[in-house]
Chains A and B, each alone.
Chain A
C-alpha cells in the first residue's frame, strides 16, 4: 500500500540524513521525499511517499518518531488529505509541435515559463497521476527533460499538523 507520511523535525544539519539513513538501514522504500523549512525556521516539514504492508508502515512511523530530531509524525493516508507535486518539463516546440505543446499545457492547466525558438518549459502542478497523464499525453520524442519535486501533502479541513 502506498502511504504518504508527513513529519515535522528540527531544522538541524544532518536531520535529513537521519531520515534517509533510517529508510536505507531498515530496508524501507522511499518513493519520494520532499523537505523545506516551515514558517518557523527552526522546523522543517518533510513529506515521504513510501510503500509497505500495514506492519511495515507501523514500524516506519514508530522508527521515525524514535529519531531524536523528529517532533511529529503523521500518516496522511490515515485520513483525507491533499497532495500536490510540481513538475517542470522541457519539450520540443518547433514546427507543428509549437502549437500542440501550447494546447496540451493549457488543457492540463500548465504554464509555459520559459520559451526559446525550439523549446518550451512547462510548469505543471497536481497529484502525481495528473503529471503522469500529461507525460503520457504528449509525444514521448518531444520530451527533452523532466524534473519533479515529489509529493507534498497536507490534511484536509481541520486536520492540522503543528506543534
Chain B
C-alpha cells in the first residue's frame, strides 16, 4: 500500500487531511473539478460552498483569526482567483495565516491565453507572503507542506499554491513531509538576550511608561504575558484596532484604543510618555498619524516584533527586539521578577494623575437623550446582551470604529475586522468563518448598509449551513465614514455618499430564509437584541437599526496630523 500512487487531486485532499484541516471554504470551477471530485469522496473535512470567492477567502481568514489555525480556501483559475485577490490582500495586510489553493489551466496551456487563464502567481505576488506554481505532481505534497509552514510561522500571512489541472490528474507516490527545512526561510523566534535586558532596565527606570500593543500580541498568543507585564509595571496600556482584546479592555490600566479614532488618554499618553514599549505593532499611519509630529516628543522606544522590517520603518526606535512576542515578553517578565529594582512609584503616581485628567474629559461621551438611535448605544447594548462574550466581526467604516470603541473586548481573537486593507464586505463572510469554527458561540456581524451589500449574497450560504449569525446593521443611509470626511474636509459636499433605493432589509433577510427585524426607536434596541440572541437564538437574525444619519466618530485625528491634534465632539 505504501507505494500506491495517488493523483494530484487525491494528494491535495490527503495533504489537507494530514494537516488536520477540518473546514475548507471554496467554490468549484473547471480547473479544480478533479480536486472537487476528491472532496466529494472524503469525510475528513467539511467544504463550505460560498456564493462568491471573495467570501471564501474572508471566511477562511476569519476562521484563522478566531482559532489561531491556518485557514484554507480553494478557488478555480481565472475569475476564481481574481475574485479571491481582495480576500488574500486583506489577510496579507493583517498577517493572517492562510493557504489558498487555486486551480490553473493545464501546464501546456499556460501562456496561451486559455479559457479562464490568468497569471495568478503574478497577480497575487504583492499580496501574499509567498506563492507557488506547481509544475510537477511530485512536488505537490512538499509544496503544500511548505505553504502551511510559511503561512503559520514568523510573521504569518497568506500563501497561495497554484495547481494546473493536468497536475491534479498526474500521479505519484504520496508522502506528506513531517517537517520542513528551508535554507532561505528561518524566522527569528528568540529575542536577543542583551536587548531584552536593556529593555527591562529601561522600563524599570521609566517615569512615564506606556505600553502599546498591536495585532502581533493577538496573533502571537501573547495576551497573557503582555497582561502580566502591564500589571507588574503598573503601566498604562493601549491597543491598536488590530490589537483589541490583547489586553482586557475593562481593566483600569487600559486607556482604550489609540490612533485616528482613539481616546484622548491613549493618544496623549503615547505623546507624553518617556519610555514607550511597542509590542507586535507597527506605528502605522492610522495609529501615530504624522511621524514627524510623533517624533517631536522625546521618548525612548522599545519595539518587539517578529518581523525585522517592521522595526524602524516609520519611527526610529532605541531598543529593537526581533522575536516572537510571547517568548520575548515571557523573558522580560522573568527578568523583572528577578530584579531587585522596582518601578518608581512616586513618578508613576504623578503620571497616572496626569492620565486621569485626560481620561476625565470623557471623550467617548455621546448624546443619550436623542430621539434617534445612536449607533454607539446599539453597540453598548450589544455588549450588555451578549455579556461581552460574543465574537464580533465588522465591515469597514463608522460602524467598525464604534464597535471597536464601545465593545470592550476582554480577550483576544474576539474582535475580527479588516484593519490594514479596510475591506468593505469582510464582515458577513468573516462571521461565517467564525461560526463554522465555533458553532455554539454568539457571533455578531456589525455592519453598515454600504458594506453589507458588498457580500450580501452570503446570506444564502448562511442559510445552507444554518449559521445563527446576528447581523447588526447600523443603517444611517450614508456611506458614513465618507460622509464624515466630506462634512469635515469637503465643506459638506456629500459626493456619492448617500444611497437611495436601499432594499427593504427585513424582506431581504426573509427572502433568504432568515429573520428580519427593523428597529426605529432607541427603546426598541435592547428588546430586538434580546430577541435575536434569545427567542431567535438558532436563527440568523438581521436587524436593521435606523440610526442617526448625522452621527460622527469621535475623537478624530485628521489624516496627516499628529496624535495630540484631536477633534473632539
Across the interface, A71 reaches (CB within 8 A) one of B125, B126, B133, B184, namely: B184
Across the interface, A66 reaches (CB within 8 A) one of B125, B182, B307, namely: B307
Residues B374-410 near A (CB distance < 8 A) = none
Whether A55 contacts B312 in the complex (CB less than 8 A), given A14-B133, A17-B125, comes out as yes
Chain A residues, Cβ within 8 Å of B129: 68
Chain B residues, Cβ within 8 Å of A163: 183
Residues A1-54 near B (CB distance < 8 A) = 9-10, 13-14, 17-18, 21, 25
In the assembled complex, the Cα of A9 lies from the Cα of B133 at a distance in Å of 17
- Does A81 sit within 8 A of B, measured CB to CB? no
In the assembled complex, the Cα of A69 lies from the Cα of B182 at a distance in Å of 9
Tell me if A21 and B126 are in contact (CB < 8 A). Answer: yes
- Does B308 sit within 8 A of A, measured CB to CB? yes
Tell me if B312 and A58 are in contact (CB < 8 A). Answer: yes
Whether A71 contacts B313 in the complex (CB less than 8 A), given A14-B133, A21-B126, A65-B308, comes out as no
- Does A59 sit within 8 A of B, measured CB to CB? yes
Q: Which of A13, A55, A68, A70 has the most CB of B within 10 A?
A: A68
Whether A25 contacts B126 in the complex (CB less than 8 A), given A9-B184, A68-B185, comes out as yes
Chain A residues, Cβ within 8 Å of B182: 68
In the assembled complex, the Cα of A69 lies from the Cα of B211 at a distance in Å of 35
- Does A63 sit within 8 A of B, measured CB to CB? yes
Across the interface, A21 reaches (CB within 8 A) one of B125, B150, B307, B313, namely: B125
- Does B130 sit within 8 A of A, measured CB to CB? yes
In the assembled complex, the Cα of A9 lies from the Cα of B185 at a distance in Å of 11
From B308, which residue of chain A is reached at the shortest CB distance?
A62
Size of B's binding interface in residues, CB under 8 A: 17
B360 to chain A, nearest CB (A): 39
In the assembled complex, the Cα of A69 lies from the Cα of B122 at a distance in Å of 15
Whether A59 contacts B307 in the complex (CB less than 8 A), given A14-B121, A163-B183, comes out as no
Size of A's binding interface in residues, CB under 8 A: 20
Chain B residues, Cβ within 8 Å of A21: 125-126
From A63, which residue of chain B is reached at the shortest CB distance?
B309
B160 to chain A, nearest CB (A): 12
Tell me if B312 and A68 are in contact (CB < 8 A). Answer: no
Fill in one digit per residue for B116-137: 1 if any A CB lies within 8 Å of its CB, else 0.
0000011001100110010000
Chain B residues, Cβ within 8 Å of A66: 307-309
Residues A142-163 near B (CB distance < 8 A) = 163
Tell me if B309 and A68 are in contact (CB < 8 A). Answer: no
In the assembled complex, the Cα of A137 lies from the Cα of B126 at a distance in Å of 44
Residues B313-355 near A (CB distance < 8 A) = 313
Tell me if B122 and A17 are in contact (CB < 8 A). Answer: yes
Chain B residues, Cβ within 8 Å of A55: 312
Residues B157-188 near A (CB distance < 8 A) = 182-185
Fill in one digit per residue for A62-87: 1 if any B CB lies within 8 Å of its CB, else 0.
11011011110000000000000000
In the assembled complex, the Cα of A10 lies from the Cα of B519 at a distance in Å of 59
Chain B residues, Cβ within 8 Å of A71: 183-184
In the assembled complex, the Cα of A63 lies from the Cα of B122 at a distance in Å of 18
User: Can you name 5 A-B residue pairings with CB atoms under 8 Å?
Assistant: A14-B121, A14-B125, A58-B312, A62-B308, A65-B309
Chain A interface residues toward B at CB < 8 A: 9-10, 13-14, 17-18, 21, 25, 55, 58-59, 62-63, 65-66, 68-71, 163
Extra contacts besides A25-B126, A62-B309, A71-B184 (19): CB < 8 Å: A10-B184, A13-B133, A14-B121, A14-B125, A14-B133, A17-B122, A17-B125, A21-B126, A59-B309, A62-B308, A63-B309, A66-B307, A66-B308, A66-B309, A68-B129, A68-B150, A68-B184, A68-B185, A70-B184
